[in-house]
Amino acid sequence: MRKGMKLRKLLLIAVMALSVVMISACSQKKSVLDDVKVKYEGYSGHGIADLDSKKLNSNMVDVFSKKLKLDDYLTEKLKSNELNAEALESEATSDERDKLVKVERWVKDTRVRVNKAQNLKNGDKYVVTIKTGDKENPIKSESKTYTVKGYRQRYCQGFERSGIRI
């Protein structure tokens, strides 16, 4: 009889521990910057950086959809409407509307900032920062640093042969 009680207690403890691990793993915030690229254009010292906002928005929708268990139709609609959940609410069911209201709240809560997007030169650091304040928002507050590279040096017409750079 005592062996059976000990086995039950051990089994109960194991199930509780597994539940805690599962809950904490499911509630972790997700990164949306992992595969977002930056495109650089121009010349060193006069370059601009262009963050791939379509990919960033797509990543955000994927995180929101997974958290709220949105169906594929709504997920694709959110991606094609560039996160405009309000536009989709009129044709959604009551349950879907509640989820879309959360998406709208999280989108407004998520701030994306860059440290400098113009007059960049090779070697500069381009930092993208994402901040969220809502504890329910599934997006992770984070920063990602890109090193600017690939700009050509700009030569003034007439000085190409002398090697003088501007």
Extended beta strands in 6-131, E state = 38-41, 48-51, 111-114, 125-131
Structure tokens at 122: 């090779």
The predicted structure's pLDDT at residue 163: 56
Does residue 2 register a pLDDT over 80?
Answer: no
Q: What is the pLDDT of residue 124?
A: 94
Q: What is the mean pLDDT of the chain?
A: 85
More confident of the two residues 49 and 27: 49
What is the predicted pLDDT for the residue at 159? 53
Whether 98 shows a pLDDT value over 70: the answer reads yes
For CA atoms 76, 89, 104, 83, give the dihedral sign: positive
pLDDT band at residue 27 under the 50/70/90 scheme:
low
* Res 81: pLDDT: 80
Summarised one tens digit per residue, pLDDT across range 45-83 is: 899 999 999 999 999 999 999 999 999 988 998 998 876
SS (H, E, C) 27-38: CCCECCCCCCCE
The sign of the CA dihedral 50, 67, 62, 99 is negative
pTM as predicted = 0.74
Tell me how far apart the alpha carbons of residues 73 and 61 are, in angstroms, rounded to a whole number: 12
Is 43 exposed, middle or buried, given 0-12, 13-18 or 19+ CB atoms closer than 10 A? Answer: middle
Q: Which residues pair with 139 in a beta bridge?
A: 30
